[in-house]
Amino acid sequence: MDARPPSRVEGAVAHIRDRIATRTLAHGARLPSVRELAEKLGVSKSTVVEAYERLAAEGAVVARRGSGFFVAGPARPLAPAPADPPPEPAIDPSWINQHAMMGLPDFLCPGAGWLPDSWVLDLGVQRALRLAARDGAHRRRQYDEPMGFAPLRRLFSVRLAERDVLVDPDQVIVTDSCSQALDLVCRFLLRPGDTVVVDDPCYFNFLSLLKANRANVVAAPLAPDGPDVEALERLIIEHRPRLYLTNAGLQNPTGATLSPAKAHRVLRLAEDYDLLILEDDTFGDFEPEPAIRLAGLDGLRRVVQVGSATKAVGAATRCGYIAAAADWIGPLVDLKLATSMGNSVTGAAMIHRVLTESNYRRHLDALRGKAADAMGHALRKLRAHGLEPWIEPRAGIFLWARLPDGIAAADVARYSLTKKVLLAPGPAFSASDLGRGCLRFNVARCVEPRIFEVLDDAIAAAPRGGS
């Protein structure tokens, strides 16, 4: 007798599949009970259970709580998911996100895009919650005003002015996150099939967001002082994009900074070719001195700026903003209400409190100092382990580094995951060759020596000229 359990399971699977195919078991019919089929086929009950579970996993049957297994209904056409299943799980943006956000126990996450908990815990969210309970913004109103909490809009307007983006509070909309702000602006400005230019490399969630908005994406190579303007112009002429989506201040994933001369040339291109610009200022709080903003240079005529209030606060309560031309505000607010009915006023009031606490600026100063130290450390360590930083960013938490020649970032990331180290492989940020051999490091999360040990092993294990 054949003792291999898999073949018994496979036999039971084949038996049921056959009965479904011949309609002996019709759609919706209950499968034989586990005991019944085990007796009939002369196998153990656990073999039948495994067979049924395998059929359930492939969707041929469905389990119903307390009542057994049933033949699945006729396959109905599923919607084309805006986010299709990734062809290569290990390099998909949502893969990084979802793993990082799961807070996997014992994992080290130099690939995660946010600060370690220990960097933000002293920030007084706890105090803000306690004070919020006392001051009771939740008592004064339920739904927030359509544009968002007015004191926070005024505060954003002041913070923007510090970066030479002069904007009236009535041109500022509060959102529940910077991601929501980005999405609202894309939904407002783009029609399905419109083309959008991004930087190569760019923040990986830009690509998911644009896919969800059914936009075509083209990528312009990034130089350390901003986009390659000649390449950008060629792309514009060829593809006639409607929008250029880029970062302000500190670019994600490279930490690059737009120079004033590049900013002027980019804005001239936008004016000449009637291109709109969406500028994401998520990491502005990490700059020692603000770099030039396209939104400021343009006076918010064809540039929209979005940003986050909480990158330096911690993401447990999230908050973002949109700053745009006055005549775009009405339709953007309509869209915000249609798709969310407005932001959470409790959260907005809490964030306002945190940002106006007397120790907030000291906190930012301390963060910048810690990030600068961590950047120096990461630069040294990465070079010592054979990786070459693309640039030495002037500030921020991101470092974009190239692996030794012929090593694929996807291979390194896959290997590291088995060793409980979550990396951010380049193909998530760049569809071009550039991304293939690069990784993004969050320098605030590169302290543990084990990261570099795993990196060594991953590089040693990776095939040369690998996937």
Kindly state whether residue 166 participates in binding its own copies, applying the rule CB under 8 A: yes
Out of 11, 19, 29, 188, the only residue in the binding site for its own copies (CB under 8 A) is 188
What are the two backbone dihedrals, phi and then psi, of residue 385, each rounded to the nearest 5 degrees? -105, 20
Nearer to its own copies, 28 or 376 (CB): 28
Shortest reach from residue 115's CB to its own copies, in Å: 8
CB-count exposure of residue 83 (10 Å: 0-12, 13-18, 19+): exposed
Structural contact between residues 216 and 193, judged by C-beta atoms closer than 8 angstroms: yes
Helix (H, G, I), strand (E, B) or coil at 434: helix
| Footprint (CB under 8 A) of its own copies, residues 82-111 | 82-83, 85, 94, 97-98, 100-103
Out of 19, 211, 264, 265, the only residue in the binding site for its own copies (CB under 8 A) is 211
Kindly state whether residue 150 participates in binding its own copies, applying the rule CB under 8 A: no
For the window 47-86, what string marks contact with its own copies as x by the rule CB under 8 A? ------------x--x-xx-------x--xxxxxxxx-x-
Nearer to its own copies, 345 or 399 (CB): 345
Q: Which of 356, 351, 336 is nearest to 143 (CA)?
A: 336
| Footprint (CB under 8 A) of its own copies, residues 439-458 | none
Structural contact between residues 367 and 287, judged by C-beta atoms closer than 8 angstroms: no
CA distances from 109 to 23, 263, 276, 441, 446 (A): 50, 34, 35, 9, 8
For the window 241-280, what string marks contact with its own copies as x by the rule CB under 8 A? ---------------------------------x-x----
Burial 139-162 (b: 16+ CB within 10 A, else e): eeeeebebbbbbbbbebbbebbee
| Footprint (CB under 8 A) of its own copies, residues 290-329 | 299, 301-302, 314-318, 327-328
Kindly state whether residue 208 participates in binding its own copies, applying the rule CB under 8 A: yes
Out of 20, 90, 125, 399, the only residue in the binding site for its own copies (CB under 8 A) is 125
Out of 23, 35, 45, 141, the only residue in the binding site for its own copies (CB under 8 A) is 141
Q: Which of 188, 137, 148 is nearest to 172 (CA)?
A: 148
Nearer to its own copies, 50 or 144 (CB): 144
Q: Concatenated DSSP letters for 177-201?
A: -HHHHHHHHHHHH--TT-EEEEEES
Out of 192, 237, 289, 358, the only residue in the binding site for its own copies (CB under 8 A) is 192
Number of CB atoms found within 10 A of residue 353's CB: 21
| Residue recorded with tokens 């130089």 | 223
Out of 340, 356, 418, 432, the only residue in the binding site for its own copies (CB under 8 A) is 340
